[in-house]
Structure 1
Amino acid sequence: MRVIAGKAKRILLRTVEGLETRPTTDRIKETLFNMVNNRLADCDFLDLFSGSGAIGIEALSRGANSAVFVENNKNAMECIRHNLNVTKLADKGQLLLMDAVSAIRALEVQGKVFDIIFMDPPYNHLYEQQVLNALKNSGIVYCDTLIVVEASKETDFDYLKESPFQITKEKVYKTNKHIFIEPAQLGKGIL
């Protein structure tokens, strides 16, 4: 696995050994970043369920102002720390060793607001639903925040019809998909 573009282009990234994480392939990562590229310059990026940190690091490499990496696995967090150091992007990253919902609360206390929130939770455990519920009334989301969820192809997002979020785009791959979600009431300030 490597950084695809930007300041850290071609630098190889370490991945977490074992089956506890599932790195996003370079091809899917490249497609994702082609779709969000116009939002990356100077954005504040939140990478939930970070694994190796490859997505947040790619965002930093391509011009994001900062990235917060949230991971509750200690081995994965050490991998992220290593990858930030090897790419020389450590000064732009904040690491939180905790679960995603606790991290959202901690980031609210810090007064953080994010332009892009990416999450790649373990598939078919409804973690993305828990996180989206936590984000519904969170101060870390504002009217232009883009939320991207990587999920299994079978994951159902119908529950969003009863939320302040709307699906604006869906990209389906062979084994998974990216769902692009934005606040439904654009232009009304923080939710």
Structure 2
Amino acid sequence: MRIVAGEFGGRKLKSLAGDNTRPTTDKVKGAIFNMLGQYLPGGRVLDLFSGSGGLAIEAVSRGADHAVCVDRSFPAINIIRENIAVTKQPEKFTVLKMDAKHAIAKFTDEAQCFDYLFLDPPYAKQQIVDQLTEMLSADLLSKGAKVICETDISIHLPEQIASLVQIKQQTYGISQVTIYRNEE
């Protein structure tokens, strides 16, 4: 696994051992950013099920200003920190050890707002629609924010979730990538 492009492009990233995580492949990561545009015009990123931190690091490498990486696993947090160290710019990242529910509550209390949201939950625990609805209710997504969901192909996400409108969807092997834009 590596950083595909941008300022940190080509640098190697570590991934977690075992079957508990499913890191986004370089091919899928490259495809996601081809759909978003090769480079991001700044903005704040939230990677809610960060795993190795690869998506958040890729986003910062391609121009995002800051990324928040959230994961509930200590081994994942350690790998995320090691991978962030590869960038030599740790100030561009915040790492939080907590589950998605507590993270959403924390961001709501702090009135944070994000321009890019990556949701790549473990396949067995898909709660994407509920989490997005909660985040929209709390105004955690800016107008025009892009939400990138990576799911198993058996998961069918709706074309619209409140103010989120699906703008792209592609399948890559057993993975499906769905991108929404916040219209409010």
TM-score by length of 1: 0.89
The aligned runs of 1:1-191 (5 Å cut-off) are: 1-37=1-37, 40-158=40-158, 161=160, 163-183=162-182, 186=183, 188=184
The 8 Å contact of residues 69 and 93 in structure 1, kept in 2 or not, is answered as yes
Mapped to 2, the partners of 1:63 and 1:165 lie a distance apart of 23
Mapped to 2, the partners of 1:82 and 1:171 lie a distance apart of 31
Q: Which runs of 5+ in 2 are unaligned?
A: none
Mapped to 2, the partners of 1:30 and 1:19 lie a distance apart of 23
Q: Deviations along 1:52-103, whole A, 9 cap, x unmatched? A: 0000001111111000001001100010001101221311000111111211
Aligned with 1:13: secondary structure? coil
Moved over 6 A (4+): none
TM-score by length of 2: 0.93
Q: Deviations along 1:13-44, whole A, 9 cap, x unmatched? A: 11111111101110111111111126712111
Q: CA deviation at 1:162?
A: 6.2
Q: Given the superposition, is the C-alpha separation of residues 175 and 67 from structure 1 closer, same or farther in structure 2, using an over 3 Å criterion?
A: same
Whichever residue aligns with residue 125 of structure 2, its letter is H
Q: Given the superposition, is the C-alpha separation of residues 45 and 162 from structure 1 closer, same or farther in structure 2, using an over 3 Å criterion?
A: closer
The 8 Å contact of residues 133 and 161 in structure 2, kept in 1 or not, is answered as no
Q: CA deviation at 1:175?
A: 0.9
Q: Deviations along 1:97-119, whole A, 9 cap, x unmatched? A: 11112112211222321111011
Q: CA deviation at 1:127?
A: 2.3
Whichever residue aligns with residue 26 of structure 1, its letter is D
- Larger proportion of strand: 2
Aligned with 1:167: secondary structure? strand
Report the count of equivalent residues. 184
Identity among equivalent positions (%) equals 33
The 8 Å contact of residues 39 and 62 in structure 2, kept in 1 or not, is answered as no
RMSD: 1.7
Mapped to 2, the partners of 1:65 and 1:122 lie a distance apart of 27
Q: CA deviation at 1:10?
A: 1.1
Q: Given the superposition, is the C-alpha separation of residues 162 and 51 from structure 1 closer, same or farther in structure 2, using an over 3 Å criterion?
A: closer
Q: Deviations along 1:141-165, whole A, 9 cap, x unmatched? A: 122111110001110223x656332
Q: Which runs of 5+ in 1 are unaligned?
A: none
Mapped to 2, the partners of 1:34 and 1:59 lie a distance apart of 12
